[in-house]
Amino acid sequence: MRESAAASPLRSIPGVAVMLALLVGIFGTIAPGFLSLANISNVLLQSTILTLLALPMTLIIMTEGLDLSMGAVVTLTSLMVAIVSLATGSMLLGLAAAIAVGTAFGVLNGWLVAVAGIPPFVATLGTLGMAQGLCLIVSDGQSVVGIPRAVRDIYSATLAGLPVPVVVALIAYAAFHVLLYHTRFGTYIFALGGNREALRYAGLSPARWLMGVYTIGGLMAGIAGLLMTARMNAGHPTAGLGLEFDAIAAVAVGGTSFERGNGWLFGTVLGVIAVGVLRNGLNLLALPSSLQVASVGFLVIVALFLDGLRSRS
Amino acid sequence: MSLAVHETHSQGNPGQEHRDRENDGPGNPRDAAVPLLELRDISKEFPGVKALDNVAFPVWPGEVHMLLGENGAGKSSLMKVLCGAYRADSGEFYYKGERAVIASAADAQRLGIAVIFQEFSLVPHLDIAQNIFLGREPRGLIPGTIDRRRILRDARKVLDSIGFDINPSIKVDRLGVAQQQMVEIAKAISQNARILVMDEPTAALSDRETELLFALIARLKADGVAIIYISHRLAEVFAIGDRITVLRDGRRIGEVRPADATPDQLVRMMVGRNIDLSYPRNFAKQPGKVLLEVRGLAAASGISGIDIVVRQGEIVGLCGLIGSGRSELARAIFGADTITAGDVIFDGQRMTDGPDQAARRGIALIPENRKSEGLALLRSAGDNLVVAALRKLFPTGLFEPPRAFATANDLIQRLRIATPNARQPVGLLSGGNQQKIVIGKWLAAGAKLFIFDEPTRGIDVGAKSEIFALIDRLVADGAAALMISSEQAEICHVCDRAYVMREGRIAGELSRHELTEENIVRLGMHHA
């Protein structure tokens, strides 16, 4: 068994915190208006949807898995919110439909990975395609507009002085924190990635718990769908394009390891904010959005590179 | 000398014997004279190998029962049968005199059998308490949650009971090997294990840690726990064993008490495997020039102070227990592992770079895992035969199929590879023919030194003889071979000399006339 490298002062500060501080420092200096209260709250507000996805993605990655379908499933659930609320006039029915569809995809992903034994990359790539196809079918390739005001208001309303999406993200974080660190399920998530045999020896069924992890991912994609529709005030057939990439990036930047079941939930939140700050900063500098995608990729590589350097030192 | 060795008789009719025993009937379950666990005629067969052949022995409460045997004697299989990972093909278990079935891990756990594997079953990023109670967490007030205070308190209690003073909320990945082992033992004890199976528990421990483990074993014994202890270290066997069962070729050879036995006697019981020794070997009158010289070699993989020499025309054996550093030495010579000290001099030139250089200069490594490391199973015999020689055959970089084909066909004939044609995927060939292809691949590349890692593993008897004939011809033509093998009889039969490794070092060298199985085992093991 490999001994972990000796702790050095450098290792005690999480890499993601250093990176976030650097990003804030750089954009605070060169990007006009970056440090204004309005901009900062805008960054946080825009990070909420990604938070809802990156939290379950952390759990999935801890099990040495991956969910590539998340962005497409969010697009689909967002369309469900738009279509169902438009048809029924009820936001709650829209949300219920979104959660049902999202959870169904989560169960499907979980079944494919845990029971059918298909590698997560392939299984969720397949469901990504299915979700994308369904998006085009239900929307006919058109945006769904004219949805009830109640849906849009979710995004701008406040609760106890905080925007509702931020409140939702905070509740989600609290729930995931309890789930991962204080429940049996959370304990088994560590074991799914760290030593699946140990679960089997303990008389537990790894497949069952693994299915649960992917199901939670689908459920969260359903909730994120509501915020997505509210934010756009419409359902767009490409709304969630590339969100899975940002979610995986946030988890990786946040210090969750892709092997041995080592995850850090708060790191993921910092990772989400780092991604948000990077995109916002480049936006303020009026750089084209294509460069934003490239820069998130670059951020991931830098984060993993630094991580590799630190764990070797 | 009166020795209490009870040789098991070969059982002409196991079924008959088995019925006789049932007629004797197990004793009263509450009788103290009943073993905690008794194995009767346990057999387990894998394709081509009888891993366990009618193994029978009792385990008494409060005893340390040592299991001794060479690599491949059946110890691991027995352990897996005991923990329910394998199901025995035939035979019975009696728990406190009553018939018991071990068909799953749950069955074993119910009987109080716990196995401490060398590869621990711990989750690295959970803490000690979570690991001890994995799957049995005390429930908190809210459904699904864990009662954190209770799990820590319970863990503390278990750790105290085995005298392990550590904070149960420390994550397991921060613990050293010895501490992880203690956590494993704590986990077993917390499941009310009455029979602990330990697989070479001191293999990775320092002397001080070993002492602590032995103190713990004494403590468990006093509590009536039975310990089945697998070891390669004879000193340990005498230090803590109450009873010794020796296995060989999946059979129980005998049972002795340490007080009645000597190390030499145990070694004699372990060796002498039944192997067909009709291999051809033409020993050279005198060895040729030095081809490989290793001086003071140490590598990051854990080997150190290695000095060996291999001459042209020689087959040199490399013996030792699994984990003694044999494969690591082979990898270091081949440049596959980082060398931290010393030199590898091949054909008069110092090796300075990785496997690429080694292969180019004429060193071939024929790995143990033929299928995953030696061959591209889906590709044809011809492709596999020329793959290492591409640079030599096609210096321009352009592949010319007719030339590749000719080279492959030539090798197929010379090595008598039984394949319909060069286009046959190697995955469809027998183990012996696959091995010939791996050898042929390096022959085509012009290799002068062949390093074999378990060359006859998974190869049937007839093919073995052909492989050895092939190696014999190679060295007669001026090549040399370094052969790692756990089959000591084979080493003794075909090698000019042998080195025996122990714990990453060369424990000794045996010349042709000193080369006996007993000498190999003696050098490879820890002596009292």
Task: Give the best residue of A190, A208, A258, A259 to mutate against chain B (max B CB count within 10 A).
Answer: A190
Considering chain B, what is the average pLDDT of its residues? 84
Residue carrying structure tokens 């990359």: A121
Question: How far is Cα B483 from Cα B467, in angstroms, rounded to an integer?
Answer: 12
- Answer yes or no: are the C-beta atoms of B371 and B489 closer than 8 Å: no
More confident residue, B25 or B389: B389
| Domain-embedded: residue A209 | yes
| CA of B48 vs chain A CAs: smallest distance (Å) | 28
* Local structure of A222: helix, strand or coil: helix
Q: B145 vs A195: CB contact, 8 Å cut-off?
A: no
Which residues, at least 6 apart from B82, have a Cβ–Cβ distance to it below 8 Å?
A: B102, B108, B113, B115, B195, B197, B228
Q: Do A191 and B123 touch (CB under 8 A)?
A: yes
Contacts A194 to B, Cβ<8 Å: 123-126
Residues of A within 8 A of B130 (CB-CB) are: 187, 190
* Residue among A184, A198, A203 minimizing CB distance to B144: A184
Query: Residue range B68-95: average pLDDT?
Result: 85
Domain contains A147? yes
What's the pLDDT tens digit per position in A187-224? Answer: 999 999 988 888 887 878 899 999 999 999 999 999 99
* pLDDT above 90 (res A61): yes
* pLDDT(B220) > 50: yes
Region of B203 on the Ramachandran plot (φ > 0 left; ψ -120 to 50 alpha; else beta): alpha
- pLDDT tens profile A155-190: 989 888 899 999 999 999 999 999 999 999 999 999
CB within 8 Å: B135 and A204? yes
pLDDT on residue B121: 82
Cβ–Cβ gap B126/A182 under 8 Å:
no
**Tokens encoding B504:** 């990453």
Please write the tens of the pLDDT for every residue from B30-48: 345 788 999 999 898 877 6
Contacts of B220 (CB under 8 A, 6+ apart): B162, B189, B196, B227
**Is there a domain that residue A287 lies in?**
no
The mean pLDDT of B324-331, rounded to a whole number, is 90
Structure-token pair, residue B411: 């090798």
Provide ipTM, 2 decimals: 0.84
In the block, residue with structure tokens 């805008």: A42
Closest residue in chain B to residue A192, using alpha carbons only: B123
Q: What is the pLDDT of residue B279?
A: 66
What domains sit in chain B, N to C, each tagged with a CATH number?
Answer: 61-84+103-270 (3.40.50.300), 294-362+450-528 (3.40.50.300), 374-447 (no CATH)
Q: How far is the C-alpha of B406 from the C-alpha of B37, rounded, in Å?
A: 63
Residue B307 pLDDT level (bands cut at 50, 70, 90): very high
The Cα of B126 is separated from the nearest Cα of chain A by a number of Å equal to 7
Comparing alpha-carbon positions, the chain B residue that sits nearest to A185 is B144
DSSP state of B12: S
The answer to whether B124 contacts A260, with C-beta atoms less than 8 Å apart, is: yes
Contact at CB, A199 and B135, closer than 8 angstroms: yes
At B416-461, the pLDDT tens digits run: 888 888 888 888 888 888 889 999 999 888 899 999 988 887 777 6
* Helix and strand counts by DSSP (H, E) for chain B: 18, 20
Specify the number of domains making up chain A: 1
By residue count, chain B amounts to: 528
Give residue B10's pLDDT. Answer: 41
Contact A19, A276 (CB under 8 A): no
Band the pLDDT of A1: cuts 50, 70, 90.
very low
Task: Decide if A92 is inside a domain.
Answer: yes
pLDDT digit string, tens, across residues B353-383: 888 899 889 999 988 888 888 888 888 888 9
The beta-carbon neighbor of A3 closest among B106, B123, B176 is B176
Establish if A290 belongs to a structural domain: no
Instruction: Answer whether A187 sits within 8 Å of B148, measured CB to CB.
Output: no
Is position A246 within any domain? no
Q: Which helix (H) or strand (E) holds B196?
A: strand B195-199
For residue A6, give the DSSP letter.
Answer: P
Segments forming the whole domain that contains residue A54:
46-240
Q: Which residues contact B462 (CB under 8 A, 6 or more apart)?
A: B432
Q: A194, B140: Cβ pair inside 8 Å? A: no
Contact B140 A182 (CB under 8 A): yes
Nearest to A186 by CA among B282, B388, B145: B145
> Rounded to whole angstroms, how far apart are CA atoms A229 and A156?
12
- Considering the domain boundaries, does residue A236 fall inside one? yes
| Mean pLDDT of the region B495-511 | 92
Nearest CA in chain A to B133: A202
Nearest to A182 among B106, B136, B146 (CB): B146
Query: Are A200 and B109 inside 8 Å of each other by CB?
Result: no
Nearest by CB to residue A183, choosing from B125, B135, B144, is: B144
> What tens digit of pLDDT does each residue of B17-28 get?
333 333 333 333
Q: Is residue A223 part of a domain?
A: yes
**3-state SS, residue B225:** coil
A14 phi and psi, to 5 degrees?
A: -60, 140
